[in-house]
Structure formats: structure tokens, C-alpha cells
Amino acid sequence: MPHAHSSKNLKGRCFLCRKEFPKTGMPTHLKNCKHSPSPDKKSKKETIFRLSIESSAIPLYWLYAEIPGKAKLSLLDEFLREIWLECCGHLSEFKIHGVRYCSTPAEEEERSGKEKSMDYTLDALLSEGDRASYLYDYGTPTELTIHVLDVFQGCSSKKVHLIAQNNTPEIRCIECGKKAELVCSDCLWDDKGWLCETCSCSHKCGPDHLLPIVNSPRVGQCRYTGELK
């Protein structure tokens, strides 16, 4: 797993007030952020889950999101793919209290109860303080840890709201030390794939393995470019 990431830049931004905070201070800040939309009296309130989600392998990648308790796991799956993961439509799964909720459960496994679909709502499975895990792509897996930080009454919404995220980590070119822009998906595994534009031209593996460096725990893996196809 990549360790070229400088651990100096651990901060991230609250998107409600646009201020920066260290990762450890973010949960408390989000609880008290004055800029969080206060539900006006007329609009309907509903149960909202505030989640912290981070990469299990590189916890420098983290985000906070709010999602209605009545939303299905499939909506959270969609959100995670969009913001962090989607490269070629791989399979994914949540693991909650030891049960697997899969994007495409195998018919037989579903019948025997070994796998379930993502057609379950968050409030049916999770409560405040619970932890769950998530995996995208069984071949080249990106694993995430999910923590239910808070369950509260908030404005009704049908979407997942991204409320905070880590700043893009600084990664240096392994050849010259300048800011890395590209990563070789082959050399990534030895933590030797991080390259600046100039050094990438003479990289031994050739241009086919080079991917852009993006702010995601899936950086450099499979064909991930950060662009939705």
C-alpha cells in the first residue's frame, strides 16, 4: 500500500462554513458548526445519519456525509462510487453486523441468506455509534470504514450531502521530489509509482500504466481516473 503520502497535511474542510480543521477536530466541529442549515419550522423533519467514512488502508482519505435514515444502502453505494471509487463498474458490498449487503448478490447466496441486496434502509440496520465496512471491487479492493457519528432530526432530503472532506494529500515524485501528478498503477504496489510530469515521460513501464493523481483512496488502482464514464 502507498506510503508516499506526506502525513503533514491531515487537515480537511467543512463545506458548511468553508473553514479548515484537523481530522481529529472535525466531528466536534460538525456538531457545532453554526452554518449547518437549521430546519425551518414549516419544512418536514426526518431522521438524518451523519457518517464518517475513511479509507481502511490510507486513513488520510476521509469524508463526512449526511444521509436520510430512510435512504437505502444502494444510495450510499452510488455516492461512494461517484465521489471516490467508480472505475469499471465493479461489484461492491457493505458488511454490517457480520452480514454482507452486495451490489449484485448471487441468487443462490441470497436464497441461503449468506448475501443480501442493498435494498435495505440505513435506519433498519444501523444506530448511533455503529461501525460498518465497505468494499469496492473484489479484484483490486478499496476498503472503507464507516462510523455512524450522529443520528438527529434534520431537513428532509432525498440525497447524500458531503459536508466535509480531507484536503488533497501532498505526494512527491520519487525521482526528483517535485509535486507528483501521475502514478504508475504497476509500481504503486512497491510505493514507487509517484511521478511528476517530467519524470513520467521516462518511466520504465511506459505511458499505458500512468493514471492521474486524484483525491481518492482508489488513486492509482485499476483504471481509476476520478472521472465518471
What is the amino acid identity at position 191? D
Kindly indicate which of the ranges 1-9, 58-66, 104-112, 195-203 contains the residues binding Zn ion, using the contact rule CB under 5 A.
195-203
Q: Which residues, at least 6 apart from 195, have a Cβ–Cβ distance to it below 8 Å? A: 173, 174, 175, 180, 181, 182, 183, 184, 203, 210
Q: Between residues 110 and 175, which has the closer beta carbon with respect to Zn ion?
A: 175
**Going residue by residue from 22 to 61, which x/- string records binding to Zn ion, judged by CB under 5 A?**
-----------x----------------------------
Helix (H, G, I), strand (E, B) or coil at 84: helix
Q: Between residues 18 and 41, which has the closer beta carbon with respect to Zn ion?
A: 18
Q: Between residues 63 and 122, which has the closer beta carbon with respect to Zn ion?
A: 63
Kindly indicate which of the ranges 119-127, 148-156, 187-195, 212-220 contains the residues binding Zn ion, using the contact rule CB under 5 A.
187-195
By the rule CB under 5 A, 143 interacts with Zn ion: no
Three-point CA angle 138, 226, 197, nearest 5°: 115
Other residues' Cβ atoms within 10 Å of the Cβ of residue 96: 21
* 125 and 96 Cβ atoms separated by less than 8 Å: yes
- Grid cell digits, residue 137: 471491487
Cβ burial 72-83 (10 Å sphere, 16+ → b, else e): bbbbbbbbbbeb
Among 182, 199, 211, 213, binds Zn ion (CB under 5 A): 199
Cβ burial 158-182 (10 Å sphere, 16+ → b, else e): eebbebbbbeebebbbbbeeeebbb
Taking the complex as a whole, how short is the minimal distance between the CB of residue 203 and Zn ion, in angstroms?
Answer: 6
Q: Between residues 124 and 205, which has the closer beta carbon with respect to Zn ion?
A: 205
Taking the complex as a whole, how short is the minimal distance between the CB of residue 63 and Zn ion, in angstroms?
Answer: 14
**Going residue by residue from 91 to 110, which x/- string records binding to Zn ion, judged by CB under 5 A?**
--------------------
Q: List interacting residues with Zn ion (CB under 5 A).
A: 14, 16-17, 33, 87-88, 173, 175-176, 178, 184, 186-187, 196, 199, 205, 222-223
